Structure formats: C-alpha cells, structure tokens
Chain A
C-alpha cells in the first residue's frame, strides 16, 4: 500500500512536469472563461487547462501530503498498539 501511494505521488509530480514542459500553463486561462492561446476555446483547450491545473495542485498539494502521510504512518507504526486501543501481541498471548 505504501509503495502504491509513493508511486501515485511521484506520478503526480512527473505528470505536472511533463505538462509544464509541453507549455500547457497558458491554457489555464480557461478557468477565467477566457479562450486559450490562439483563441482556442474548444474541448481541447478546456481539457488541457483543467488538466494542467489539476496536475499543479496534485504536484504541490496532494503529492507532498501523500509522501508525508507515508512517512508519518511509518513512524506511527512504531508506537505500541495499545495507544490505538489494541493489546500488543505479548499482552494477547498472556491474556
């Protein structure tokens, strides 16, 4: 599960970088109802603008939170189970 989450976060970052390098930043003008570069206002422009915006927020907001969550979760796993309302295995064995 952690591996999946890390891959997901990394994919968000890479996807944004690819869209940025392809020069799709200008298409986000569609968010203000303004046609994109060259006056494009069709499905491609809208989809591209929306995709770039989603990729940006995924890369700078979602992905870091995912990475931090995985790291924090790894740390929390070292905390005894009793802290989360569950007996440790040793306690379960002795009853």
Chain B
C-alpha cells in the first residue's frame, strides 16, 4: 500500500497531463449533457440543469489546475505484469457472462481458478482452491444465509 513503483517525474507529469485532458473533456461533455436535460416542469428556481453545469465548471477549473501542476502518480505496470493485471477484469467479465446461463457454481469455479492462476498459484493447488471456493460460498450463501443465487438456466435453474 505504500508507493509501489517509483516512476520518473517525467512519466508522472505525462500521466497527470493526459488525465487532466481526459477530465477536461469529461467536464465539457458532462456540462453540455447537463445543459440539454429535458424537463416538463420545475418546482424550484434552479431546476435539474444548474447543479450539473456548476459541477462541470468546478471540474473544469480543477482540471486546469491539475494540468498545470500534475503532481505525482503511481504509474502503470509494464509487459507481462500489465497483461496479468488486465486479465483480472477480463476474467471477471467472462465469469459474469456465465453467471446466469451456467449458474453460480460454474461461474465461481471459473473465476476462482482463473484468478488463482493469474496470481501464480501452482495449477493443482489452484484447482483444489477453486473447488473449495465454489463449495464454500455456495454453502455459505445458498444454504446458511439463503441469498438468491442463480442455479443456471441450462440446468433448468
């Protein structure tokens, strides 16, 4: 949780400037979006548009300050590590797609097995861990706490 990578001030500045530009574009889009909100009636003097527009202005101002003094940044990982880090959301997306059709157990098994492998677990241990996770969480949430979980539409759930 402390600073992980020490990156050069130049990279930090670049990351800061790019982020600032993205935030300025966001402020612009959000402000324009806010100024065209349609409403039939307004029961107060401000209406639904003013607050978003004001936020866009404030974000714009802060974005300019940020651009001028970008400060420090943590920086992005490189190469293989970056690929592994990005594999987490990708894997999560796949598991979520499986969630309703194939059910909780299959989806959780995929997610936990994949994550364990991404984190560098030995395959056999990862497999045992994934079976354990699937059984444990199904038991805890499905039986003990009775939270609704999909059984999987292909299994008639």
- Whether both chains belong to one complex is answered with no
A residues near B, CB below 8 A? none
B residues near A, CB below 8 A? none
